[in-house]
Amino acid sequence: MAAAESDSKSLFSLDSYHVSQELGFILPDPLEELPPYYQPWMDIALRVPELVLSHELRFHINKMPLLSSHFLQKHRELRLAHLALSVMTMGYTWQEGESNTVEKLPQNLAVPYWEVSQRLGLPPILTHADAVLANWRKKDPEGNLELLLSLPGGDSVRGFFMVTLLVELAAVPALRNIPTVINGVRCGDSEAVARALEEVSQSIQEMTDALKLMHWWKDNPCMPKGLIYDGVQPEPMEYSGGSAAQSSLLHCFDELLGIKHEAKSGAFLTRMRNYMPPAHKQLIQDISLQPSLKSFVHQQDSERLNRAFQHCVTKLLALRNYHINIVSRFITVPAARARQLRNQSQDSEGEMISRAPTALEERGTGGSGIMIFLKTVRDQTKDAFLPETSKEMKHHS
Ligand code: HEM
């Protein structure tokens, strides 16, 4: 009995990582309302897109009361509060576009935002964990989804958050199988590992299929200096904007499959882990500490296991290739067009053309342009192939 108990204790499971069996990293049943005391926040947060368009958001936020965060108790209350305060902060900062950003966030927003962030272990900025994981509800009994809060940009922004949510959903079977892989390696059950890896690769394929729904999306502008969070600290603070690089999914797969990133791009990806809910970051860390799956596959000499492992790497590579494709369509091509238009037009007209795509293209992913970054990450994925078939697979990708 004691032995069985200690065996079951040592089994790897997702229980303590805030991962749901049905929804993975997505927050189950996000709240749609906060306790009534916080109505002034929700009244504004729900209207951010229209108040930005009418240039009234800063005015409304400036006269909002300074509320204590202490009446927020449950995890889901804190997540909705973080989402609402994040959306307000984004709108406040960018209300006037690139030409007139603010240097300071008012106290009545900055102080509660800081406190809620501290309690959740998230930074005080809109993250993937807010905009995607905690920002959904069922629209109808059929289970169609819609967002709780949005930003200016209409369908483009909604589409971007929604597709990213669908990618998270498609990854749930892969996540559920990670403990089976780890436990199978621990007890030397190569059939169980092979079966689980087959499910992982199938699920990564479904993530790519979900990614193919991405037809729209507009860029976001840039901000050279950090932002002062008034009442928190006098120096400006800098945080990276939200990105699906903050999704815990690919981090988990990389650690499971033993994908090692090059120094600079690896440092960027590691930094993105600080933008994840701490329990999810911990899961990635704990997967990285497990006995090596790749060495296990190598030692077992099972054709099925070999094939299942190679398939996972192939599918992950295909996902990253498809993503590069999207980024080139949505950023690189518009950036080139904007540069060309600016060069052709008269000075004042040229200034009117948004710098956003070019700024995004050059943005700080560890010092390199985004394409170099994404291609480096993709190429490191290829290095995870098992040696014997490595040449052949690299040839095909
Ligand atoms: C129009 C759509 C998209 C654009 C323009 C885009 C753009 C980018 C950019 C510029 C980066 C570089 C890192 C950064 O700047 O933060 C990045 C990274 C990343 N994106 Fe996207 N993205 C899009 C959609 C998605 C979706 C739907 C997902 C799905 C979860 C996704 C997953 C990732 C991941 C995992 C990374 C980290 C790099 C890697 O691990 O390969 N992206 N994306």
Cα-Cα end-to-end distance for the chain: 51
The CB of 244 under 6 Å from ligand 1? The reply is yes
For 171-189, write each residue's pLDDT tens digit: 999 999 999 999 999 999 9
Q: Which residues contact residue 214 at a Cβ distance below 8 angstroms, ignoring those fewer than 6 apart?
A: 159, 160, 163, 326
The whole-number pLDDT of residue 359 equals 55
- Could you say which DSSP state residue 291 is in? P
Q: Which of 327, 371, 383 to mutate to test the pocket of ligand 1 (most atoms within 8 A of CB)?
A: 327
The whole-number pLDDT of residue 366 equals 38
The whole-number pLDDT of residue 215 equals 63
The CB of 268 under 6 Å from ligand 1? The reply is no
Nearest CA to ligand 1 atom 38: 245
User: What's the gap in Å between 214 CA and the centre of ligand 1?
Assistant: 12
The CB of 163 under 6 Å from ligand 1? The reply is yes
The radius of gyration of the chain's CA atoms, rounded to the nearest angstrom, is 23
Place of tokens 């199938």: 202
Tokens representing residue 373 in the block: 């970054």
* Residue 311 contacts residue 203 (beta carbons within 8 Å): no
The CB of 127 under 6 Å from ligand 1? The reply is no
Of 52, 164, 62, 71, give the one whose Cα is nearest residue 105: 62
The whole-number pLDDT of residue 214 equals 80
* Residue 237 contacts residue 104 (beta carbons within 8 Å): no
The CB of 372 under 6 Å from ligand 1? The reply is no
Nearest CA to ligand 1 atom 15: 365
The whole-number pLDDT of residue 244 equals 92
Nearest CA to ligand 1 atom 26: 164
Amino acid at 176: R
Mean pLDDT of the chain: 87
What is the DSSP secondary-structure string of 136-200? EEE-STT--EEESS--SSHHHHHHHHHHHHHHHHHTHHHHHHHHHHHHHHHHT-HHHHHHHHHHH
The whole-number pLDDT of residue 281 equals 98
Nearest CA to ligand 1 atom 3: 327
Nearest CA to ligand 1 atom 36: 245
No. of helices (H) and no. of strands (E), the chain: 20, 4
Amino acid at 367: G
The whole-number pLDDT of residue 143 equals 85
* Residue 374 contacts residue 299 (beta carbons within 8 Å): no
The CB of 170 under 6 Å from ligand 1? The reply is no
- Which residues of the chain fall below pLDDT 50? 1-8, 217-224, 364-368, 390-394, 396-397
Nearest CA to ligand 1 atom 42: 244
Q: Which of 125, 243, 247 to mutate to test the pocket of ligand 1 (most atoms within 8 A of CB)?
A: 243
* Residue 315 contacts residue 208 (beta carbons within 8 Å): yes
For 291-306, write each residue's pLDDT tens digit: 999 999 999 989 999 9
User: What's the gap in Å between 320 CA and the centre of ligand 1?
Assistant: 9
User: What's the gap in Å between 212 CA and the centre of ligand 1?
Assistant: 13
Question: In whole angstroms, how far apart are CA 191 and each of 234, 300, 336?
Answer: 58, 10, 50
Phi, psi at residue 105, to the nearest 5°? -95, 130
Can you list the domains of the chain with their CATH numbers? Answer: 16-153+225-242 (no CATH), 159-217+244-397 (1.20.58.480)
Angle, CA 316 vertex, CA 313 and CA 319 arms, to 5°: 150
The CB of 330 under 6 Å from ligand 1? The reply is yes
The CB of 363 under 6 Å from ligand 1? The reply is yes
Q: Is the dihedral of CA 171, 173, 177, 179 positive or negative?
A: positive
The CB of 321 under 6 Å from ligand 1? The reply is no
**Tally of residues, the chain:** 397
The CB of 247 under 6 Å from ligand 1? The reply is yes
Question: In whole angstroms, how far apart are CA 370 and each of 324, 327, 365?
Answer: 9, 9, 6
The CB of 186 under 6 Å from ligand 1? The reply is no
User: What's the gap in Å between 145 CA and the centre of ligand 1?
Assistant: 22
Q: Are strands 136-138 and 145-147 parallel, antiparallel or unpaired?
A: antiparallel
